[in-house]
Structure 1
Amino acid sequence: MSDPAQTATEEAALPGPHPGLTVAEVAERVSRGEVNDVPVRSSRSTAEIVRANVFTRFNAIIGVLFLIILVVGPIQDGLFGFVIVANTAIGIVQELRAKKTLDSLAVIGESKPTVRRDGVPTPLPTGEIVLGDLIELGPGDKCVVDGEVLEADGLEIDESLLTGEADPVLKQPGDKVMSGSFVVAGGGAFTATKVGREAYAAQLAEEASRFTLVHSELRTGISQILKYVTWMMVPTAVGLIISQLVVEKDDWKEAVRRMVAGIVPMVPEGLVLLTSVAFAIGVIRLGRKQCLVQELPAIEGLARVDVVCLDKTGTLTEGGMDVTALRVLPGSGTDEPFVRQVLGALGASDPRPNASLQAIIDAHPASPHWRCTAALPFSSARKYSGAALEGPDGESGTWLLGAPDVLLPAGDAVLTEIEDLNAQGLRVLLLARAGHALDDPHVTDGARPTALIVLEQRLRPDAGDTLRYFADQQVSAKVISGDNAVSVGAVAAKLGLPGAQEPVDARRLPAEREEMARVLEDGSVFGRVTPQQKRDMVAALQSRGHTVAMTGDGVNDVLALKDADIGVAMGSGSEATRAVAQIVLLNNSFATLPSVVAEGRRVIGNITRVATLFLTKTVYSVLLAVLVVCAQVPYPFLPRHLTLLSTLTIGVPAFFLALAPNKERAKPHFVRRVMRYSVPAGLIAGGATFAAYLLARHHYSGPGALDAETSAATLTLFLISMWVLAIIARPYTWWRIVLVAAMGAGFVIVLLTPWLQRFFALKLVGTTLPWAAVGIAALASLVLELTWRWVGRRFPA
């Protein structure tokens, strides 16, 4: 019989967990600058925002033209310069507001790794980690710095985001870990060997920023349009300069003013700024709903999504579960009290239990008389966990806890009873006694079923409404889960998901991509899906031309989130999912997704509307310049006239229309959809305006004739532009009607107020030509309306 005192001494001599660095050692490393000081950039810097909004190609063009007007005068012909300043200022202010929102949300959503110092585990911001710190790891944790494993308990790390290798790597003490990888199973701790910019992931992401403008059809389309405009503008401007100098040879200042008036409206300068403002305000609006947009185009991308893949756990159901029943199986040779003790010991063997195991721990607390000698942590790929246990009476055994249809062979009688429970939406785990050691690859072979643990999942109260929203918006919802297919189908059916009554077991999915895509399009609920299958399913849907969004919160969702067009992570999910997702729902509410979709549709639909306004102006400006060059007549407008027209028919209304509600589903081919309306509208407006101008030139003569001709042409162009605005503002609401009416009233005020008449050089002379101008504008508007409708039927979006 051993001596108790000697036993106590031996146990005290056993090495315990490493205490980590001391406070003094941390202070020393901080003084040496050995700190993980990589800046977390969730948005562009203030300087970058100012540069992006001020130093643009079109601001440079407008700036030069403004300086020319300052030289030749008068100042009212340089009003377009002040408009550019105002628009640029609005863009900067709104983006700075968005930056503030984005940065604050990024801080809220930033996870804090657990660092062991003086033997005490403490969550710390990543920027406070120093060289040599001991960082604890558990399922879902991301390695924030490079290091070397010191402790490992079934530690499996996924390095796919760095190496492309999808299979998790089992780590042992002494193995290297790279920043950017994440834990998929087990736990442990590692010592930081490289921090700050020396870490592997930091070197890869040195120039990366979350505030990106890539993969955006809207941005790409606008850039393409502006490129076309530039190529049209250069030769037209050259021809206009030459013609005006020839026509106005006795007054070179007047020629320069008319030349500038012809060039300025060709530049759709407000379109880029308005797009930035719309995106920025979208970020602010979503930020108020605790939605972190890590990449701005994600707002647009989710609006284009036609398939959304949902992970059941944490998305349709809440994270917590409750044990509703424990059924000891006949012939197991055990009784319920013994099974409860085994379950308690299994729960105690895992330092980082998942939701299912936590429910078991809550229902069956651990007994101090049981000891775990080996453990196999849960893995979503295996779908079971295990432990080698020793009981108080000296009995030892290896136990497995996991999915019944994985632990048992097909056709086992126990599975029939489980199917009935799954059909009720209940989750069932099997406790089985293994016939092999945990490290045996065939540990599940011959497992003897002992008991069933019945779990009930908590449905999210808002999940049903969200699914109905997607159905109304023609967005297909696919529930993809690692759980039993029948159980998942029952949960989805409770929420009213169409097709949930016919769930598909992913183990029977065809491996060939085309066949898999066909099954995915037909079905809506898929169970027993492995992490690699989730990735394959996303790729199969994308191969059919679908824009796919993937939601999830667990490490098993990371690969699919990364490959999906839009990845959406829950704020309470693992850090790995938040790192690869474009959108993070910090409030963990699936019901926030409709707000993101609606915001994206608002941005895309409204920018498409206002882009038509801007480009109509560009088209009629180019046409007028060409006609003026060919006819060798003075350009009909001064810069102040077009500034007035642009403000009333484009600038002010575009700002309100860009921020208005818009639930229209996002459609592809942005450039084609904008140009199919703006080109004919611009040609009709330019042709009718030039016709009214030529008619006025034949009607008026003598001093002041040019001013009268300009006024008639301005009236014509204003009325036609107002009709374009009236078309763009449809469908009408009270505020849209007020907006259009207010713009018309503004022009009337200018025509009726003497000092404004003088300021804008506008005065209608007589009644014949003004009414003729109204008639030409009315006829052009009728042609415009008919053309608009014909284009809509002939070239549907």
Structure 2
Amino acid sequence: MTTRGEQVRVTAHPQRDTGLTRAEVAERVEHGQTNELRERTSRSLGEIVRANVLTRFNAILGALFVLVMTTGSFADGLFGIVLVINSAIGIVQEYLAKRKLDRLALLNAPRTRVVREGQLSVIPTREVVLGDLIELRTGDQVPADGQLLSSVGLELDESNLTGEADPVHHAPGDEIRSGTTVVAGMGRFHASAVGPDAYVNRIAAEARRFTRTHSEIQASINKLLTYITWVIIVALPLQIWSQWRAVGGEGWRSVVIRSAAGLVGLVPEGLVLLTSIAFLLSAVQLTRKQVLVQQLPAVEGLARVDVVCLDKTGTLTVGDIAFEDVEALDGLSVEDLRDALGALADDPNPNGTLAAVAASLPAPGGWERTGTIPFTSERKWSAGCFGERGTWLLGAPEVLLPDGPGRARAAELAATGRRVVALACSDEHLTEPTLPSDLRPAGLVLLTEQVRDDAHETLRYFADQDVAIKVISGDNPQTVAAVARRVGLDPGAPVDARTLADDPESLREVARATTVFGRVTPEQKRALVHALQADGHVVAMTGDGVNDALALKDADIGVAMGNGAQATKAVAELVLLDGRFAHLPTALHEGRRVIGNVERVANLFVAKNAMSLVAIVATALMATAFPFLPRHLTLVSSVTIGIPAFFLALGPNRRHYLPGFLGRILRFAVPAGAVAGLAVIASYLIAGSHYGVPKDQFLAQCALTTGPVSPACWEPGTGATITLLVVFFAILSVLSRPFRLWKALLLGAMVTLAVLAIAVPFARDFFTFNAPARLVWESLAVGLVGAVLVELIHRVAGHHRADGGDAGHL
């Protein structure tokens, strides 16, 4: 069997124009000579399991779990079961999300036209095999390497390979490479290198790294985890040493159990899990709204966007233009112009304008095409040669018409919102994409664009959210401005991009002050995106054409239309599968929900870490036992952090994006956690001085591993746990604002569980609680003092500005 490594030495023999046979395709598939892409849209099941199980914090908790189990105190190993459940939830959630996203990505995977057994068919790009006869058309990505057999004005954007943005014309016999994009014309070639031997996979991988969406959440969480790791490294020996001093007389088992309790509190075991689940479920939710998320952080990224750049065609308008009429110039008859238009539109690879004309004007008889110059966005014109009937050109009026009445009339018509293209003629037979010297104006072709019925509402939504709109189009500026007015935008003075300077600073000034740009080249679209980014904006770019691909790739968030060019969808972070611009507000909501809710739950976890650190340091300084057993912190973490965080992470949240995610967390969670730690120590010392057993009897009556323990031994720990519950319920209450019915029910349910754990005999014995009435009131009083301080910290830290505004959502 031929291996992948040998494939590069395999040369496909010249194939017939009918392409490969089924037997030849099967043979190549058997030898592994396919274009199967190695890059996946999601992780494999094995990678999911490893990512959710083999983490540094799971390793720490796992080691502590094993140590606690060796002491025989199985109730204190409950955190290990929670750890397994958390990992299982993460694996199941990500796997289910992976299946949905993979199925959707498969449906929207790149496709390629191939000729096999004389029949042209469209297949997934990954099914292309060595030697396939491939047909390229405008908007396609070249899926493999090979030598061009035929070319009809084929031009490729090779910027991915060479960095040169200008399209490159290719003739039969030229070598073409995967990773390039067809911007004009059509052609056929045999695939001589596929899969890992072609450029496509390496280029795709490089492009993906280059356009990797920045996630403030992920970057902040990673930095936070680094901080916590160093805290654990320092706290680990300190906790073991202090507990050996305090309870070493009870034996090593007591030291292990008390040490484990403090260290378990330092581990944010559910934070990464809940962050991942929030991203994944948001992506799955968006797929139900016809939005394919190709990079999960893009959901968050869209919430940070403050400028949206729109390509008019396919975004503000439906994208399908309709032929309306033709006006003659220089005395030519309308009938002759209609015949010429019908002949031009009878093109095997028409662009959008020609396709619209073809839908209304049939091809006339007696017009034989002898040559074609395909349309490109750089030249802004196309041409067809028809022997004795001459050459007819269709393109932008400012390119094909001289200054004078014709161009003035075109501007007048464009100002009404119509799309106007010029028709010109020549006696020259064109073989190169150069305007003929005897170019004569012939007429004006009028086309209309249907404005999307949801565009006005969508743009008004963005205006309400303080998101600026920039309309960047290749069309006539006056036409673009007219469409902008129809959808409720104030276009101001539209700018013709041909007048723009290349200087970045002047471009920033124009981009800052202008709403509508016309006649923009692909490179200028990208330059405008760069100018807005240099001005401090987070930019989203939407588009559907090949000329949008460069700008989409460089924007912070690229949004492609599902009916757009394959090259455009390949570089976008989000794809609107049904092409509806109105889905963007939904994606924005999801991004805000993710950012706001992850911030909420991160505050809970970090507060617990800060509490544990303060308690560890305080007990070390006072040479006293750690206030809690692991089972106590398992209870507190479950009812005040774990369970509520899961619901809060998935609840609604429409808060506007605010920068400084990590700073806000640290400003609130660290002092709030410190207050909780100090309150716990105070409660523990107060309870220890009035309750429990005398110190000289503690070893005899309260050793954890020497037999039955007197219930009085449980009282100081019970008081500390009650205080901690009060303070953390206060933190949970602060982070749940503004309150809605579902949040009140959630908080009430968690308080009820905590009360039952202390009051119900079975649960009380399991968690080793003993709570005389006076102890309960004293512990509640200390907890209330801590709760008041939490409220003050909340106000000082400015969290009243950061709470999620989910009004009207339950």
The answer to whether TM tops 0.5 is yes
Cα drift, residue 511 of structure 1: 2.0
What SS class does the counterpart of residue 26 from structure 1 fall into? helix
Cα drift, residue 483 of structure 1: 0.3
Q: Deviations over 1:33-74 (max 9, x none)?
A: 433233452211111111000000000000011111111132
2:337 — aligned with what?
339
1:593 — aligned with what?
584
> Does the 8 A contact of 2:423 with 2:445 survive in 1?
yes
Letter in 2 for 1:424: T
What SS class does the counterpart of residue 636 from structure 1 fall into? coil
Distance change (3 Å), C-alpha of 1:501 and 1:436: farther
What SS class does the counterpart of residue 90 from structure 2 fall into? helix
CA distance in 2, matches of 1:40, 1:223: 24
Letter in 1 for 2:414: N
1:702-741 to 2 correspondence within 5 Å?
702=694, 704=710, 705-741=712-748
Q: Is 1:70 paired with 2:69?
A: yes
Identity, % of aligned positions: 49
Q: Deviations over 1:283-341 (max 9, x none)?
A: 11112122221111111111111111111111111121111222112x24x21111111
Cα drift, residue 111 of structure 1: 3.3
Letter in 2 for 1:448: R
Q: Is 1:360 paired with 2:360?
A: no
Q: 1:476 aligns with which of 455, 460, 468?
A: 468
CA distance in 2, matches of 1:207, 1:156: 23
Cα drift, residue 209 of structure 1: 7.8
2:684 — aligned with what?
693
Q: Is 1:270 paired with 2:270?
A: yes
Q: Deviations over 1:193-234 (max 9, x none)?
A: 111221122245579989998632211111111111111122
Q: Is 1:744 paired with 2:751?
A: yes
> Does the 8 A contact of 2:668 with 2:797 survive in 1?
yes
2:394 — aligned with what?
401
CA distance in 1, matches of 2:42, 2:391: 51
1:372-411 to 2 correspondence within 5 Å?
372-390=369-387, 395-409=388-402, 411=403
Alpha-carbon RMSD across the aligned residues, in angstroms, is 2.1
1:11 — aligned with what?
none
> Does the 8 A contact of 1:480 with 1:525 survive in 2?
yes
Cα drift, residue 671 of structure 1: 1.2
Distance change (3 Å), C-alpha of 1:27 and 1:736: closer
What SS class does the counterpart of residue 379 from structure 1 fall into? coil
Cα drift, residue 439 of structure 1: 4.2
CA distance in 2, matches of 1:37, 1:633: 63
> Does the 8 A contact of 1:493 with 1:501 survive in 2?
no
1:13 — aligned with what?
none
Distance change (3 Å), C-alpha of 1:205 and 1:496: closer
What SS class does the counterpart of residue 269 from structure 1 fall into? coil
1:431 — aligned with what?
423
2:439 — aligned with what?
447
CA distance in 2, matches of 1:590, 1:210: 27
Q: Is 1:537 paired with 2:543?
A: no
Q: 1:622 aligns with which of 613, 618, 624?
A: 613
Choose 71-80 or 702-711, whichever is displaced more: 702-711
2:786 — aligned with what?
780
CA distance in 2, matches of 1:607, 1:248: 39
> Does the 8 A contact of 2:658 with 2:802 survive in 1?
no
Letter in 2 for 1:273: L
> Does the 8 A contact of 1:437 with 1:443 survive in 2?
no
CA distance in 1, matches of 2:159, 2:613: 53
Q: Deviations over 1:222-272 (max 9, x none)?
A: 111111111112222211111111221221222221111111011011000
What SS class does the counterpart of residue 435 from structure 2 fall into? coil
Q: Deviations over 1:374-395 (max 9, x none)?
A: 11111111111111223xxxx3
1:9 — aligned with what?
none
TM-score after normalising by structure 1:
0.93
Unaligned 5+ segments in structure 2 are 1-14, 695-700, 702-709, 804-810
Q: Is 1:369 paired with 2:360?
A: no
Q: Deviations over 1:705-752 (max 9, x none)?
A: 541111111111110110000000001101111111111111111222
Cα drift, residue 697 of structure 1: 1.9
Cα drift, residue 523 of structure 1: 1.6
Cα drift, residue 126 of structure 1: 2.0
Unaligned 5+ segments in structure 1 are 1-15
2:707 — aligned with what?
none
Q: Deviations over 1:549-607 (max 9, x none)?
A: 11111111111111111111112111111111111121111111112111111111100
1:153 — aligned with what?
152
Letter in 2 for 1:345: A
Cα drift, residue 772 of structure 1: 2.1
> Does the 8 A contact of 1:42 with 1:209 survive in 2?
no
Letter in 1 for 2:577: L
Q: Deviations over 1:477-534 (max 9, x none)?
A: 111100001111111111112x324322111223211221121122211111011100
1:639 — aligned with what?
630
CA distance in 2, matches of 1:559, 1:312: 16
1:298-337 to 2 correspondence within 5 Å?
298-329=298-329, 331-332=330-331, 334-337=332-335
Letter in 1 for 2:776: P
Distance change (3 Å), C-alpha of 1:213 and 1:326: closer
TM-score after normalising by structure 2:
0.92
What SS class does the counterpart of residue 313 from structure 2 fall into? coil
Distance change (3 Å), C-alpha of 1:790 and 1:437: same
2:646 — aligned with what?
655
1:231-246 to 2 correspondence within 5 Å?
231-246=230-245
2:12 — aligned with what?
none
What SS class does the counterpart of residue 183 from structure 1 fall into? strand
CA distance in 2, matches of 1:140, 1:181: 10
What SS class does the counterpart of residue 732 from structure 1 fall into? coil
What SS class does the counterpart of residue 625 from structure 2 fall into? coil
> Does the 8 A contact of 1:212 with 1:295 survive in 2?
no
CA distance in 2, matches of 1:652, 1:504: 55
What SS class does the counterpart of residue 369 from structure 2 fall into? strand
> Does the 8 A contact of 1:434 with 1:444 survive in 2?
yes
Cα drift, residue 629 of structure 1: 0.2
Distance change (3 Å), C-alpha of 1:728 and 1:361: same
> Does the 8 A contact of 1:42 with 1:211 survive in 2?
no
